[in-house]
Structure 1
């Protein structure tokens, strides 16, 4: 892991196959650093905790049987 020190309004550049990604430190407060990220639209940027949640949701969804899914859909239709 590369560790860099940056002050407010300083940035770093990451060169990728999709283009250049610039990360700017926009604000520093106790307990929080606010970052601005400029990247090509083809580059997907997610907070790590969101990516982990999405992965957990995919894993949970893959364990649902077809019968359980049909039952849930039927219950939702009956609520109307």
Structure 2
């Protein structure tokens, strides 16, 4: 893991097309702005994990015979 220190309005680049800017620090909250191409999903970690769980459940094979009984 790379750990960086940034001040308000400073940026981090990921590759050539993902930009992360530290917008503000208020108490224990940090506000980030993320600019990325539209084909790259940007989600909070907990939303990402929920999507992965739902996709896993949806992809499991269903035995129709058991459902119809």
Same fold (TM over 0.5): yes
Please name the residue that 1:76 is paired with: none
Higher helix share: 1
Between Structure 1 and Structure 2, whose CA radius of gyration is higher?
1
What's the TM-score, normalizing by structure 1?
A: 0.68
CA RMSD of aligned residues (A): 1.9
Structure 2 unmatched ranges of 5 or more: none
Count of aligned positions: 66
The Cα offsets for residues 19-68 of structure 1, whole Å up to 9 and x where unpaired, read as 41110000101121000011111221111110101112223334573544
Name the CA distance, whole Å, in 2 between partners of 1:51 and 1:25.
21
Structure 1 residue ranges without an equivalent (≥5):
71-80
Task: Compute the TM-score of the two structures, normalised by the length of structure 2.
Answer: 0.77
1:51 to 41, 48, 55: 48
Q: Please identify runs of 4+ aligned residues in structure 1 that moved more than 6 A.
A: none
